[in-house]
Amino acid sequence: MTGLSKAGGVIITLSLIVVLVFSFSSALYAVDDLLSKDIVVYKKSECTCCKKWVDYLKAHDYNVTVKTTRNVLAEKARLGVPEAVAACHTAVIDGYVVEGHVTVRDIKRLLLFRPDIKGIAVPDMPVGTPGMERGNAREPYNVMSFDEQGNVEVFVSHE
């Protein structure tokens, strides 16, 4: 094979890779459009980090219905959130519970793969999660999954 033939083959291969990458990206955007964007958030009226998380969801084009309550713990119990993963606010989207400062990316992962779980949670309030921003500071944390029986395991880790 001559140098010119090799170069032509490389250009064709790279062109195919570029086309495939753009096609895959377009497919992901199409799938994203199919995922639910309707979310109900249960929170206390005075909680500022909950308001920031709601604003974060809205900035990512979610249709947020806020249910202000004095007894968020009752909503958590009704929705089956284990105490071990409880945080300040609780949400429901497409039949799944989302507890705490979960990223949109992790919500999309939940809705895309549809695991056989009750929901996902970010326990506590890690710095750097949506609604808990502190400049560039970030704490590593785990997003936990939980099932109907209250079993908890790591859904995804953020380092």
Please give the pLDDT value at position 25.
Answer: 45
How do 119-122 and 141-146 pair as beta strands? antiparallel
Mean pLDDT by 10 residues, the chain (159 residues): 50 53 49 83 92 95 96 95 95 97 96 96 91 90 96 96
Domain boundaries, the chain: 1-34, 36-158
Measure the CA–CA gap between 98 and 74, rounded to whole angstroms: 15
Instruction: Tell whether domain 36-158 is in CATH 3.40.50.620.
Output: no
Measure the CA–CA gap between 61 and 16, rounded to whole angstroms: 33
Please give the pLDDT value at position 26.
Answer: 47
Measure the CA–CA gap between 137 and 144, rounded to whole angstroms: 21
Q: What is the 3-state secondary structure (H, E, C) of the chain?
A: CCHHHHHHHHHHHHHHHHHHHHHHHHHHHHHHHHCCCEEEEEECCCCHHHHHHHHHHHHCCCEEEEEECCCHHHHHHHHCCCHHHCCCCEEEECCEEEEECCCHHHHHHHHHHCCCCCEEEECCCCCCCCCCCECCECCCEEEEEECCCCCEEEEEEEC
